[in-house]
Amino acid sequence: MRAAGAWGRVGKGAPVGLLEGKAAVITGGAQGLGLAIAQLFVAQGARVVLADINVDKATEAAKELGPAIAVRTDVTKEDDVAQLVEACQREYGRIDVMVNNAGITRDASMKKMSADDFRLVVDIHLYGAWLGTKAAGLVMKEQGGGSIINMSSISGKVGNFGQTNYSAAKAGIVGLTKAAAKELARGGVRVNAIQPGLIRTAMTEAMPQHAWESKLAEIPMGRAGEPSEVAGAALFLASELSSYITGTVLEIAGGRHI
């Protein structure tokens, strides 16, 4: 039996997960926040598809998770994203949750940033999220419901020096989320976004110590977040606990930039 948190105990029956029987797709699922989300989803009863351009790493992660498959996906290619959604339907019969999480960084000041690096970051984050929202939304409407979660960032709220590409993409995801929520609501499909702040990952821990301490000083709670805390927010938005919530942006930032 899968582990279930206190919220996973439903009615008088045996404990069940918040996502019991649900099928979820997570892009960028081979590592980092995507993998943390996948791990919690599986623990709460979901069957997952890990979509990643690094299919070898995604396959290794899927084997460890249990009820999971891996699909090589370039989120900037419409055919890849369509085939990803089809793979979930073929394997599990439906798609209940879509987490558009895939992303990269190519940081540089505007003076030094190339046009190619600007377009690449915007394409993967924003265009990729649009393709995922569109493909999953169409199927979910036919099913009569579903939840789409788009990964933005606190950078999309305030902007970060050296991240005009990343900040623009993450701000765009907020607009995409709100517009898509309006279009899909009558079909029973909810669309929400998450804005993580400073989260303890391999990438952030590679920062110079002075940069880490500077960011920590901006956080009222006085600490960085953990990947599991972002996953918890995704679980809430994926589950029926948030059944009357759509078009929202949930900040997971310890009070930073409030």
Phi, psi of 236 (to 5 degrees): -60, -45
CA atoms within 13 A on the CB side of 64: 15
C-alpha angle with apex 147: 144 to 152, nearest 5 degrees? 150
C-alpha angle with apex 142: 189 to 86, nearest 5 degrees? 95
Q: Could you tell me the maximum CA-CA distance found in the chain, to the nearest angstrom?
A: 62
Distance CA(157)–CA(205), nearest Å, equals 22
Go through 8-31 and write b for each residue having 16 or more CB atoms within 10 A of its CB, e for each that does not.
Answer: beeeeeeebbbbbebbbbbbbbbb
Residue 92 annotated to the active site: no
For the chain, how big is the Rg over CA atoms in Å? 18
Distance CA(159)–CA(109), nearest Å, equals 12
**In sequence order, what DSSP letters do the residues of 33-84 get, joined into one string?**
HHHHHHHHHHHTT-EEEEEES-HHHHHHHHHHHSSEEEEE--TT-HHHHHHH
Alpha helices in the chain (DSSP H): 32-43, 55-65, 78-92, 115-122, 128-143, 155-158, 164-184, 202-205, 209-216, 227-238
Query: Residues with catalytic annotation?
Result: 166
